[in-house]
Every structure is written in structure tokens, then in C-alpha cells.
Amino acid sequence: MDQFMERAIELAGENVKNGGQPFGAVLVKNNNLVSEGVNELHKRFDVTAHAEIMAMRKAQKMMHTHFLSGYTMYASGEPCPMCLTAMYFAGVDTVYYCASVEEAAEAGLEKSKQIYADLKKDREERDMEMVQIPLNDGKTNPLELWKNR
């Protein structure tokens, strides 16, 4: 097994021993470990404090950038939809993972599997109601401001 994946799994195991969920992640560039993270929901009371996002936050803060093109993520578990989306936005090139969302669900961590299934549905059929409120006439349109900057 790859040294970076071994480290992600080690982090996940340590996190369970410390009261957290079994998720660890390592962010790598040019075969060098840049940052790592564990799931910290239990410490931060923050649903976005997942291992992959924590590793990305550390790297982005350290380098003063939000772009992570050329980076590889090693994760003990298949990234949830939120983490995967964050990696897309940041430009991470490759993600390696061990446990699938199906395996996580079998262990009692089913939310990622449920969300992936829900996102396949049409907007109107999803579990979370989403309602668009069109911008009123006469109001400043932020998208127009962005296009005209």
C-alpha cells in the first residue's frame, strides 16, 4: 500500500481512538506530503470539518491560495459529496480512497450514500426542498456586477 494512503488510514484510526469518526486524509503534491486532516466534527461542532476539507484548508492557508491544481488527495474513505465538490472547486487532480460510501454505510455512516442518491434526483424530487426566489426589479444583481467588473 502507498505510504500516503497508509498515513491517511493511520490518521483515521487515531481519530476513532480520540472520539472522532474513522476518516483521515493526506494532501500531496509532487510526491511530497503537504498537509493532512482528520474528521473534526466532534471537536468543532462544524459539519464541514471533514478530513479532506481540513487538509485542504491547511494547505490553502499555508500557501495563500484556493487553487490546488496538481495536488492529489489520499483519503481513508470515499469523499462525501461536499468534500468531492470542494476538491473540484479547488482543482485537485486525483483522489485515492479506501473504504467506499457503501462500506461506510454498512458501518453505520450512511449519510454520504444517502446524499449521493438524493443528488441523482431532479431538484423537485430531492429530500431537501429548494425554492428559487427571483431577484426583484430595481435591486442590484450581484451576477451583473460580477460580469461587468
Annotated active-site positions, please? Answer: 52
Contacts of 146 (CB under 8 A, 6+ apart): none
**What are the backbone angles phi and psi of residue 120, rounded to the nearest 5°?**
-75, -15
Contacts of 107 (CB under 8 A, 6+ apart): 22, 99
92, 87, 49, 86: which is closest to 69 by C-alpha?
Answer: 92
Q: Cell for 87?
A: 476538491
**What are the backbone angles phi and psi of residue 45, rounded to the nearest 5°?**
50, 50
